[in-house]
Structure 1
Amino acid sequence: MPVTSAILGFPRMGANRELKFLVEGFWKGTVSETDLLNGAKELREKHWRIQQSKGIDAIPSNDFSLYDHILDAAVTFGAIPERYAGLSGLEQYFAMARGLQKPGTVDVASLPMSKYFDTNYHYVPVPLSPSTVFTLAPNSKPVREFNEAKAIGIKTRPYIVGPVSFLLLARTNKEAPIQFNKLDLIDALVDNYAGLIGELGAAGAEWIQLDEPHLTNDLTPVQQAVYLRAYTRLAAKLAAASVGVKLLVATYFEGLDINADLAFALPGVSAIHADLVRGVDSFTAVVSAAKATGKAVSLGVVNGRNVWKADLEPALRLVEQAVVILGADRVSVASSCSLLHSPHSLDAERLGAQVDRDLVDWMAFAVEKLDEIVVLTKAARFGRQYVRAALDANAKSISGKKESPRINNPAVQARLKAVLPSQLTRKSPYAARRKIQADILKLPKYPTTTIGSFPQTASLRRIRAQFKKGTLSKSEYERLLKEEIAAVVKFQENLDIDVLVHGEAERNDMVEYFGEQLDGVGFTKNGWVQSYGSRCVKPPVIYGDVSRPNAMTVDWTTYAQSLTKRPMKGMLTGPITILCWSFVRDDQPREITAKQIGLAVRDEVVDLEKAGIKVIQIDEPAIREGLPLRRTKWDDYLKWAVDAFLLSSTGVEDGTQIHSHMCYSDFEDIMDAIIQLDCDVLSIESAKSDLKLLQAFQQRAYPNELGPGIFDIHTQRVAPLGEMTNRVDQMQTCLAWDRIWINPDCGLKTRGWEETEAVLKNMVATAKHFRSAAIAAAASEN
């Protein structure tokens, strides 16, 4: 057989975010369940036909999801927590994802969210315990969607998250006994996988893709043993049932390296997929292991996580080497990982008068990456001359980018080289700063604040869109936004919140907004990628050296401060989050780009302070996300990540209070680095994870002030007062009361005004309850 082409997954949302609007319409009640399911089916068919028309041989199915593919797996295998047992169908599914509150009948919180490895995609981890019983759902989603594709003449390769990675991605139920290890459930889970694979084989599937991204991580001896146990058992079950389906185990986000032998030793597996973009150094180990075991390889040589065109010449050399060593019938050309992490298509970028032709020429989105994979496959199959025009065009584009004067800014490079160690520390230690800030801010005990954004209504989005299109004048645009800011400030004063925010009415996204005002950064019209559920983001494209030509937030923040005597927080996004939530240039180390952004943010922080803003928040929700998967790379990353943040934050006087915010990550492993950030106040997501994240700050005795979120913002339910006070009670078992701030988990931009008002009233009431208790306790002592 010849060399084949494949991808591991395709973006779900559609060319124009059709899925987003279908799902959100269903949540609002304006789209029926039938219309939602029919619309989703049409979108899947459209995506399969795109891949078929481009010439992809191994087209995935079951990579589509209404919310999250890991949550889908939990439903497929019956890993549904007891509190959702009274619900069924989509109501149950979305209750697990978002919570559900029906007065007098249902009030269930959502499951937690967590980052998917080092991406900005959030998945839903299911809690497991010794009482978890796996049960394969009848007519399960993987089988239904395989049959859907077969009905239109497309035989797909079904995707399923692998059994070991499913367990490793899950969480342990907090009520589970301390000796419980979720990996102890592997046998029961594998038996259900065997049943599903048998059903897919009976439906006609020839290959099945099992994603095991944990094989690129550092594995303990126990985890390595579980991998061998799981696939030995699975192979035996399939053989006993005479299931002739072939299995591809897919790994990604890092090289296989020392785990190559383990991956290729898995029994019953016919092929291994290896990420050769991030793991190009593991090529020799991968091919050697494939040769030794007689297994096939899927070579991930086209980057599924970035928007730059693949440099086809070095990619093709790898494919050609593999073919020489293994033979054409054992080599497949593929994306490095699922194209879920890429925008849909460049079609919209090529239209209109404002096309950045350089940027468009340098990029490839998901649809264009299909073309790259097919060109490489044809070159390996028929020879380079067969696709000479495409290879030459690619080489010209790659060379043009390298030589472009837009890439390098000597002034930015010189400034970074001139940074002194004194620019990485505050003037005084935290203890001294705290006293000065207390005298200036005069905040009550248990001070209240929010994380930054307030509801982004349809009318607000419409105003911004009209301004961008030129149908709304700048003066009218600013007048309307000032009205919105004034209303938000008054709203917070009426609720008696202590440290206010301006609500971010002018911002489309916490990273895109800043990217639009930085040099060295470009933008797309329709480069949306899924972040979680229906939430999509349009990341900036960092193509060159980064600097800040003008102030970005000062006017809006100082206007908001002029409306109130209470402290107004300046709201900024930190350098690591801008880095991680952008598509970043691939021609220099990420460290350099991060520090350039740090200096740009530093300029904004200093200007805010000069304008009279005494509280400045520099959000870094992505700092844990950027941590490399291999521990041997952690120290280097954490050193430059911390330095980039300090570059942004240390240019102010002691009386200026620096906040930061982090969310939806596990912080246990990086607590030393978080402490080194030396921010005066850190707010963290805590409620959605049921205070799990707080444990890390307790164990390491976080020394500064901390605001663990007391309610989850990714749900429509209004957390009652008793629930919030109970959370603060738990906080006080591990935090000093005079270091606790009261705030939400995250920003409120996706919430409606009615629920926002209700939940913030409960938040303020919670703070006042504990203030009264503290005053009463002090009085009794006297």
Structure 2
Amino acid sequence: MTVSVATLGFPRIGARRELKIALENYWSGKSDAATLLATARDLRAAAWARQRDLGADIIPSNDFSLYDHVLDTTAMVGAVPAIYEWDGDKVDITTYFAMARGNGHQHDTCNCAGAPAAEMTKWFDTNYHYLVPEFTPDQTFRLASGKIVDEYLEARKLGIDTRPVLLGPVSYLLLGKARGGAFNVLTLLPRLLPVYVEVLNTLAAAGATWVQIDEPCLVLDLPDGADDAYARAYAELIRDVPAIRFMLTTYFGALGDNLATALGLPVHGLHVDLVRAPEQLADVVAGARPDLVLSLGVLDGRNVWKADLNAILDRVEPIVAAGRKVILAPSCSLLHTPIDLERETELDADIRSWLAFAVQKVAELAVLARALNNGRDSVRQVLDASSAAVASRRTSPRINNPAVQARAAKADATLARRASPFSQRRPRQQARLRLPAYPTTTIGSFPQTPEIRKARAAHARGALSTEAYNTFLREQTARVVKWQEEVALDVLVHGEFERNDMVQYFGEQLAGFAFTRHAWVQSYGSRYVRPPIIYGDVSRPKPMTVEWWRYAQSLTSRPMKGMLTGPVTILNWSFVRDDQPRNVTCRQIAFAIRDEVVDLEKAGAAIIQIDEAALREGLPLRHRDWQHYLDWAVESFRIAAWGVADATQIHTHMCYSEFNDIIAAIAAMDADVISIETARSRMELLEVFADYHYPAEIGPGVYDIHSPRIPTVQEMVELLKLATERLSADQLWVNPDCGLKTRKWEEVRPAIENMVAAARTMRD
């Protein structure tokens, strides 16, 4: 049988971030909806053609999104929360972006109006964020968006017959939240399925024969009733949509105890992730019906290393030889990888030879398919080059640093302990800082204006000298310090104008990291990041932030926070070497950050914030694997943080994740103050404190920074009052949900002024 190549999804953003530019021009009023949609069409057409030309036989459609594919599904089924005042017809672009970003606006006479953005959280254990669906007990569904059909027909007109991608009904419900009272969201399945049947039959009428239906929740610990929900859903879909064949797609882990459920569904194909869970291949093959098409996720859709093509062929050849119908694919959508390595002309040649981005991964799949269909000799030269690249990385002296390895290996438990417990540290910190009740602060960054980005770009290309650039940055820092004093923030930050990204900035100063110029990956909406590539052992050659902190503190008598990114976040927001366990790499990073913490304290910093925004993100998908991860992740934070005296206050920050189920681990980090995202969920995360006594201080975010909407003083007061139902007033800090880097000053100034006023109201 001929082996085919499929891609499960391709990066949406454009090789030159065309989508980001188009979105932000539309949001700012510089262009209209027609221009935005035209750019989107061009990006889709280019992606389809690129995959076809690289050798993909099965190309997805509906993997493109203007903001988020889960939000697209919400629009498709008409599950728009009442707060957005949707008229019940088609979900238009205004309603769509209201859910994504809020629909507040600012008048000359007042600061705030409209509805907040929908809650946002991490997509499984990735750094991609999705918009959380909201369901009520009386929830209704109706077909309210024809996007999936429109984009299928759009590709057909270009001569490309795609396989549309659809988030499966059970995973869609499980990824949502119940509102308006506790109830099991799976009880909504009978109301939801008719919409899926309608859209699938419409696709069939348009000519589609296969649909990729994603059910990623099958790799999780399923709640009670989920097995029955899957059985009911796919029995009805197969019965009521006879013209469509379904490729049930799972990724990010092993099916495990859900394997029987998946294999028992009457679907026509099954995709499994053989990168995150290579051990499941034998059980999948043994249990699959003879007619079930197996889509094998053999290339890593979440990392950037070249594959060992010969090793993959060794595993797959026996399955093909046995007569099984096989499709080769990435482990998951290539959404999580950069687009094209060819643009990285400035990257070190050795490191570049070890890498493969989305384009290169599709090409690798095509080589594998040719080898399986025509024999290895037909692509011998490419296979030999692949083996040489893998061997080169494995043996390169640039990978290993014996001194770094020895330091990490010889660390003893005292390095991960503070000298005194929090109860003794707290009065010493209070005496040193003398802060009021409900102290106010921000998370770290302030707006990176076009002027700042222009200066950074000019410096990078040599058009602005380092001296002139640093003078410019000092002026920006002085301006923001003065403004913070004027609005009466209690604990200040220097604004981070010298930093391009909270991970990249540190990685560029650490040994063992490589960086790209164009390898952007979507985090959410128009927010893209360029994850560093950790290729070798990690160490800190010299201080990274001390001089900027020292300058900022010289401008004010108020406490100035030292701002660092924690080891777990640096790890989870990078492309990590795969030749040693992740916890080993994380410990190396922890020692590098520890050196910086100690130097900041020596310089006089009384407060040092070590952000661990990605701690929850790295949590394994199965509960049985949690403790091992939490043990080494918490230890890494403590190694980084605990080289300081009792009077030095350690802060950490976490955002856009569910923390309630790991609150004991967060407490074990033993930070003096933690700030967390709670504005979009209206302090829902604080429910855990009804039963758990959190010992330290906490800043529950009262201002959603991922929306341009400006919250009122009263809104923030109400959130703080909700917080006092679970925490004592002397535990509470007042801060935004996250850093303000992506916002505009015209949004930030009134929002922070309102936040300070809210804190004063609570003090009164």
Report how far residue 293 of structure 1 moved.
Answer: 5.3
Give yes or no for contact 1:319–1:333 (8 Å, CA) kept in 2.
Answer: no
Q: TM-score, normalised on structure 1?
A: 0.96
**Whole-angstrom CA distance in 2 between matches of 1:366 and 1:103:** 41
Amino acid of the residue matched to residue 57 of structure 2? Answer: D
**Whole-angstrom CA distance in 1 between matches of 2:491 and 2:106:** 32
**Paired residue secondary structure (1:453):** coil
- Alpha-carbon RMSD: 1.2
Give yes or no for contact 2:113–2:709 (8 Å, CA) kept in 1.
Answer: no
**Paired residue secondary structure (1:527):** coil
Whether 1:660 aligns to 2:658 is: no
Amino acid of the residue matched to residue 608 of structure 1? Answer: L
The 5 Å alignment of 1:46-65 reads 46-65=46-65
Q: Which deviations, in whole Å up to 9, do the C-alpha atoms of 1:109-132 show, x marking residues without a partner?
A: 110100000000000011101121
Whether 1:270 aligns to 2:277 is: no
Whether 1:539 aligns to 2:531 is: yes
**Paired residue secondary structure (1:693):** helix
Whether 1:439 aligns to 2:431 is: yes
Which residue of structure 1 lines up, in the alignment, with residue 172 of structure 2? 166
**Whole-angstrom CA distance in 1 between matches of 2:284 and 2:459:** 52
Which residue of structure 1 lines up, in the alignment, with residue 134 of structure 2? 127
The 5 Å alignment of 1:389-428 reads 389-428=381-420
Q: Which of 474, 490, 515 is matched with 1:523 structurally?
A: 515
**Whole-angstrom CA distance in 1 between matches of 2:192 and 2:649:** 50
Amino acid of the residue matched to residue 250 of structure 1? Answer: T
**Paired residue secondary structure (1:192):** helix
Amino acid of the residue matched to residue 160 of structure 1? Answer: L
Q: Which deviations, in whole Å up to 9, do the C-alpha atoms of 1:365-404 show, x marking residues without a partner?
A: 0000010110111111111111111101100111111111
Give yes or no for contact 2:105–2:710 (8 Å, CA) kept in 1.
Answer: no
The 5 Å alignment of 1:68-217 reads 68-86=68-86, 89-102=92-105, 107-137=114-144, 140-173=146-179, 175=180, 177-178=181-182, 180-217=183-220
Report how far residue 106 of structure 1 moved.
Answer: 5.6
Which residue of structure 1 lines up, in the alignment, with residue 12 of structure 2? 12
**Structure 1 unaligned spans of 5+:** 773-782
Give yes or no for contact 2:61–2:148 (8 Å, CA) kept in 1.
Answer: yes
Give yes or no for contact 1:528–1:537 (8 Å, CA) kept in 2.
Answer: yes
**Whole-angstrom CA distance in 2 between matches of 1:221 and 1:321:** 37
Which residue of structure 2 lines up, in the alignment, with residue 331 of structure 1? 326
**Paired residue secondary structure (2:740):** coil
Amino acid of the residue matched to residue 245 of structure 1? Answer: I
**Whole-angstrom CA distance in 2 between matches of 1:79 and 1:273:** 28
**Whole-angstrom CA distance in 1 between matches of 2:209 and 2:372:** 24
Deviates more, 1:449-458 or 1:378-387: 378-387
Q: Which of 467, 470, 473 is matched with 2:459 structurally?
A: 467
Q: Which deviations, in whole Å up to 9, do the C-alpha atoms of 1:588-637 show, x marking residues without a partner?
A: 00000000000000000000000000100000011000001111211110
The 5 Å alignment of 1:316-327 reads 316-327=313-324
Amino acid of the residue matched to residue 575 of structure 2? Answer: F
Whether 1:247 aligns to 2:246 is: yes
Q: TM-score, normalised on structure 2?
A: 0.98
Which residue of structure 2 lines up, in the alignment, with residue 501 of structure 1? 493
**Paired residue secondary structure (1:362):** coil
Q: Which deviations, in whole Å up to 9, do the C-alpha atoms of 1:234-290 show, x marking residues without a partner?
A: 22222xxxx3110001000012222222111112x0000000001101111111122
Give yes or no for contact 1:257–1:285 (8 Å, CA) kept in 2.
Answer: no
Which residue of structure 2 lines up, in the alignment, with residue 32 of structure 1? 32
Q: Which deviations, in whole Å up to 9, do the C-alpha atoms of 1:59-111 show, x marking residues without a partner?
A: 00000000000000000111111111247511111010000123589611110
Which residue of structure 2 lines up, in the alignment, with residue 237 of structure 1? 240
Report how far residue 51 of structure 1 moved.
Answer: 0.6
Give yes or no for contact 1:115–1:664 (8 Å, CA) kept in 2.
Answer: yes
Amino acid of the residue matched to residue 259 of structure 1? Answer: N
Which residue of structure 2 lines up, in the alignment, with residue 305 of structure 1? 302
Give yes or no for contact 2:104–2:709 (8 Å, CA) kept in 1.
Answer: yes
Structure 1 segments, 4+ long, off by >6 Å, are none
Whether 1:342 aligns to 2:341 is: no
Amino acid of the residue matched to residue 216 of structure 2? Answer: P
Give yes or no for contact 1:713–1:747 (8 Å, CA) kept in 2.
Answer: yes
Q: Which deviations, in whole Å up to 9, do the C-alpha atoms of 1:331-351 show, x marking residues without a partner?
A: 0000000000000101211x3
Amino acid of the residue matched to residue 656 of structure 1? Answer: T
Deviates more, 1:710-719 or 1:79-88: 79-88
Q: Which of 277, 280, 287 is matched with 1:279 structurally?
A: 277
Whether 1:478 aligns to 2:485 is: no
Report how far residue 326 of structure 1 moved.
Answer: 4.1
Give yes or no for contact 1:187–1:233 (8 Å, CA) kept in 2.
Answer: no
Q: Which deviations, in whole Å up to 9, do the C-alpha atoms of 1:666-694 show, x marking residues without a partner?
A: 11221111000000000000101221112
Report how far residue 542 of structure 1 moved.
Answer: 0.2
Q: Which deviations, in whole Å up to 9, do the C-alpha atoms of 1:690-717 show, x marking residues without a partner?
A: 2111212443221100000011111111
Do the aligned partners of residues 408 and 103 (structure 1) sit closer, same or farther apart at CA in structure 2, a change above 3 Å counting?
A: closer
Whether 1:601 aligns to 2:593 is: yes
Do the aligned partners of residues 355 and 103 (structure 1) sit closer, same or farther apart at CA in structure 2, a change above 3 Å counting?
A: closer
Give yes or no for contact 1:215–1:259 (8 Å, CA) kept in 2.
Answer: yes
Q: Which deviations, in whole Å up to 9, do the C-alpha atoms of 1:469-494 show, x marking residues without a partner?
A: 12211111111000000001001000
Which residue of structure 2 lines up, in the alignment, with residue 487 of structure 1? 479
Report how far residue 218 of structure 1 moved.
Answer: 1.5
Q: How many residues align?
A: 757
**Paired residue secondary structure (1:107):** coil
Give yes or no for contact 2:613–2:653 (8 Å, CA) kept in 1.
Answer: yes
The 5 Å alignment of 1:642-653 reads 642-653=634-645
**Whole-angstrom CA distance in 2 between matches of 1:106 and 1:554:** 41
Give yes or no for contact 2:678–2:685 (8 Å, CA) kept in 1.
Answer: yes
Which residue of structure 2 lines up, in the alignment, with residue 714 of structure 1? 706
Amino acid of the residue matched to residue 96 of structure 1? Answer: M
Amino acid of the residue matched to residue 514 of structure 2? Answer: G
Give yes or no for contact 1:98–1:110 (8 Å, CA) kept in 2.
Answer: yes
Q: Which deviations, in whole Å up to 9, do the C-alpha atoms of 1:401-434 show, x marking residues without a partner?
A: 1111000000000001110111011000001000
Give yes or no for contact 1:265–1:293 (8 Å, CA) kept in 2.
Answer: no
Do the aligned partners of residues 313 and 462 (structure 1) sit closer, same or farther apart at CA in structure 2, a change above 3 Å counting?
A: same
Give yes or no for contact 1:256–1:286 (8 Å, CA) kept in 2.
Answer: no
Amino acid of the residue matched to residue 72 of structure 2? Answer: D
**Whole-angstrom CA distance in 1 between matches of 2:291 and 2:540:** 54
Give yes or no for contact 1:671–1:697 (8 Å, CA) kept in 2.
Answer: no
Percentage identity across aligned positions? Answer: 51
Deviates more, 1:454-463 or 1:99-108: 99-108
**Structure 2 unaligned spans of 5+:** none
**Paired residue secondary structure (1:525):** coil
**Whole-angstrom CA distance in 2 between matches of 1:618 and 1:716:** 26
Give yes or no for contact 2:67–2:100 (8 Å, CA) kept in 1.
Answer: yes
**Whole-angstrom CA distance in 2 between matches of 1:30 and 1:319:** 51
Q: Which deviations, in whole Å up to 9, do the C-alpha atoms of 1:10-66 show, x marking residues without a partner?
A: 000011111010011100111211111011101100000001111101100000000
